[in-house]
Structure 1
Amino acid sequence: MSRRRPAASRLWAVHNLMPQEPLEIALEAALGTPLPAKLGVAVSGGGDSLALLHLLARIYARRGGDLQAVTVDHGLREGSAAEAEHVAAICADMGLQHQVFRWENWDRSGNLQDAARQARYHLMADWAKSQRLNAVALGHTADDQAETVLLRLGRRSGVDGLSAMAPRRHDAGMLWLRPMLGITRLALRDFLTDAGFDWIDDPSNEDTRFDRIKARHAMGALEALGIDTESLGVVAENMAEARNALESYATLAAQECLRLVHGAIVVRRDAFATYPPEVQRRVLRRALDWIAPAPYPPRRAGLAQLMQALAAGEATTLAGCALVCRKDDGWLFREFYAVADHVAQSDGLWDGRWRCFSSDGQAMEDRIELRAISSNGLKKCSNWRELGLPRGVLLSHPGLWHGDTLLSSPAVKTSPNWRWELARGADAFLLS
């Protein structure tokens, strides 16, 4: 497709004079009130994201505020750099600030599509935070939502998976908005065509090697059964309502059955057993993520094994965490072997969880560092059994070390000279 630039030299001013489009009204309603004062928009050059850019430009020209654009060039196919330049030219005509980032760090391991997606979000999040933006808008449409539901049906997803993409979510320290989940791809292209705006079609959108493109082609064959973009979007909305209800139930279960003790999560086994399996799964998944955050939650089979061990009073490990059971309680904590070799500077964050502070606020010596207490540390503390904590909990606790001397730890060796804090406390767990 040609890359003709719009004739107007300052589309921002033009947008301000145009009457409101129905899509503009729908988009503004989806963004909510008040509008983000400083909003970023991700633009690839395709029809969906360019339509989002033009519609947002109209809204912000009329309502006021700071709108900025960003493009991530993955460099995975020929012409991607030219497409990023095309977007930059459009933004320049509109008087919008625009930034291009190029991803060049793939190490050829793992899934390329997933690596590119994660890199894109991290690059955009860093950019948005550097610009002090309130949120970043993404160009996912009703068709993307329907295709996601269809793909997850094929993967036998549960309630969460069939909820598909959320209109709003927090990730990588940024709020991401998807205000076009109720707008079809066809409606957006009709808008662009009527307004005289061109877009660039990505050739990979016709490559049936990708599952999403297979789902896109399958949609036409399913329409005779009433399975179309609208119906699958409704399924996603229904599943999102069910997910929210289950999450509320899981929060109540966590408040009743769980307590936090020195960075470990203690589960009242008898009370926990009274909750349905789906609620138990959600609570344990949340607990694992609080102790050892990971990009993806553990698989259902792993959670089932953890639930069985908790019910039977057995020990097991999952996702870098360990479970040991006593008569009435199950203790879930960081697995020692996951942190055995982890070392952090004395003023750093150890294992993404623990910080140690000098009580008088003075800087610590260079040779002081944070590392696991381990069995060597416990040998230096003969009173650790008096704490009533499982040995495994203490082994994986951080210690403040000066060479072979253990100066302090959160539990086994407290000291008035040092203060320990968890980066994510009880509130972060219960509200996660």
Structure 2
Amino acid sequence: MQLDLPRLLRESLGPDAPPRVGVALSGGGDSTALLHAALLAGFAVEAATVDHGLRPGSAQEAEAVGRDCAALGVPHAVLRWDGAAAVGNVMDAGRRARLRLIGAWARGRGLDAVLLGHTADDQAETFLMRIAREAGLEGLSGMRPRFAAEGVIWHRPLLSVPRAGLRDWLRARGIGWVEDPSNDNPRFGRIRARQAMAALRPAGVTPETIGAVIGHLAAADAALNRLLSDWGAEHVTQQGGEIRIHAGAFAGLDPELRRRLLNAALVWVSGAEYPPRAAKLAALLAAPRDATLHGCRLRVTRGQIVVARELRAVAGLRVPVGQDWDGWRIEGPPGEVVALGAGIAECPAWRDTGLSRAAVLASPAVWAGNRLLAAPVAGRPEGWKTLNRRGSFAFAGLCR
């Protein structure tokens, strides 16, 4: 059956899709097919390419992608990241940098949606990589087709399409693409997973069969999350930037649901992409107590488990008013957004907010040097307004 990528994109984004979308464009076959499919689907498209600087010629490649976009009438931006200075897991650091850079670009361009060119092959390779890390059901349920991060919604409309199918689609239309030499470098875990996939194919293990398994696991994962979401509607409250869980009801939950709930709360409050290490969380689940974990402060008090942001995790974060600050945005007259911290002494009404002291200490406040201008979360708005950019915990935390 002939691949109809424009129709697939329209169906994937749904009837409420915005008319303008961004495309994360590397110039490779996957993202190039995505760009052309988005144009054929009738979207107004803008594109961004991250120059990672990991090898000679990357800047020239990004500029060449820009020329191709210009020929199509697509606005294009090159975003720079000094990958050579990255330490540790370079591929993971690069992925985080791409999200951060492209997210900021999309917000600046007024784009609410960004398309990513991940394919069925990427999904299968990720599955193998997560098996190697002994991932549980959540990790083995695959990459999400849609998620929110960096103030935008990211879509992966090609997760059901094999990489080879996209290249056939491009060839049929006379559209070229570039191949990244790092795609053959076994130093990277993803490339080793790609090589393993090739070795498994004779045994019938293909991206398509792994995709079917991922679908089964994702259905089971969603069922557990629905159970947890229903339970949370009665026993979990979200206020400001903190989560409160009824301690007695929590103790009666199945251990797997307790783990999921606390993981979700920690990720939502911290804004982290990943949950904490399993061993650290297991120790806390075995004996819930006051603790700091994953950039969060946990307290067990008055029959509740309170999960709030830890002041130390945001103490060095500074942005101008109007920019995102740790999942918040303050709007109003000019100033610098910094954690409230010791400024709580100038906010006697903070106790009336119903928030924990930890949450108030780590909340955003407006400063002019050492002078506190406003602390909206702490009951001292002074004309400034706050917006919690994390969204609903019930949706973001308990639903994939």
Structure 1 length-normalised TM: 0.75
CA 1:163–1:321 in 2, change beyond 3 Å: closer, same or farther?
same
Aligned sequence identity (%): 41
CA spacing shift, 1:400–1:182, aligned 2, 3 Å: closer
Q: 1:373 to 1:38 in 2, by over 3 A?
A: same
Deviation at 1:148, TM superposition (A): 0.9
Q: Aligned pair in 2 of structure 1 residues 280, 404: CA closer, same or farther (>3 Å)?
A: same
**2:397 is the counterpart of 1:428:** no
- Taking only aligned residues, the RMSD between alpha carbons, in angstroms, comes to 4.2
Query: 2:23 aligns to what?
Result: 41
Q: Which amino acid aligns with 1:174?
A: V
Tell me which residue corresponds to 1:245: 223
The secondary structure found in structure 2 opposite 1:133 is coil
**1:156 maps to what in 2?**
134
> Using a 3 Å threshold, how does the CA distance of structure 1 residues 407 and 56 change in structure 2: closer, same or farther?
closer
Match of 2:307 in 1: 332
Is 2:298 aligned against 1:323?
Answer: yes
Q: Given the alignment of the two structures, is residue 172 of structure 1 paired with residue 141 of structure 2, yes or no? A: no
Query: What code does the residue aligned with 1:429 have?
Result: F
Report if aligned partners of 1:344, 1:350 keep a CA contact under 8 Å in 2: no
What is the CA deviation profile of residues 347-405 of structure 1, one whole-angstrom value per residue up to 9, with x for unaligned ones? 79998478999xxx9x79x999963249x959x98x99999998877876789999999
Q: Which residue type is aligned with residue 430 of structure 1?
A: A
Q: Which has the larger radius of gyration?
A: 1
1:268 and 1:214, CA in 2 relative to 1: closer, same or farther beyond 3 A?
Answer: same
Change in Cα spacing, 1:288 to 1:87, as seen in structure 2 (3 Å) is: same
Instruction: Report deviation, 1:427.
Output: 7.0
Pairing 1:50–2:32 present: yes
1:46, 1:202 within 8 Å by CA — same for their partners in 2?
A: yes
Q: CA deviation at 1:407?
A: 11
Counterparts in 2 of 1:28-427, with a 5 A limit?
28-33=10-15, 35-60=17-42, 65-104=43-82, 107-259=85-237, 264-310=242-288, 314-326=289-301, 328-335=303-310, 338=313, 352=326, 371-373=340-342, 377=345, 423-424=387-388
CA displacement, residues 70-96 of structure 1 (integer Å, 9 cap, x when unaligned) = 222212112222322332232233233
Q: Which amino acid letter does the alignment assign opposite residue 235 of structure 1?
A: V
Distance 1:67 1:396, change over 3 A: closer
Deviation at 1:34, TM superposition (A): 5.5
Provide closer, same or farther for how the CA distance between residues 272 and 183 of structure 1 changes in structure 2, counting only shifts above 3 A: same
CA distances 1:53-76 after superposition (whole Å, capped 9, x unpaired): 23333332xxxx412222222121
Q: Does the C-alpha gap of structure 1 residues 94 and 250 become closer, same or farther in structure 2, counting only changes over 3 Å?
A: same
Length, aligned pairs only: 395
Name the SS of the counterpart of 1:67 in structure 2.
strand
| Structure 2 unaligned blocks of 5 or more | none
Give the SS at the match of 2:77. strand
Task: State the alpha-carbon separation in 1 of the partners of residues 124 and 99 from structure 2.
Answer: 22
* Distance 1:27-1:261 versus aligned 2 partners, 3 A rule: closer
| Equivalent-residue separation in structure 2 for 1:115 and 1:279 (angstroms) | 30
Q: Provide the C-alpha distance between the structure 1 equivalents of 2:80 and 2:353, rounded to a whole number of angstroms.
A: 53
Q: How far apart are the structure 1 equivalents of 2:35 and 2:264?
A: 36
List gaps (5 residues or longer) in structure 1: 1-19
Q: CA deviation at 1:231?
A: 1.0
- TM-score, with length taken from structure 2: 0.80
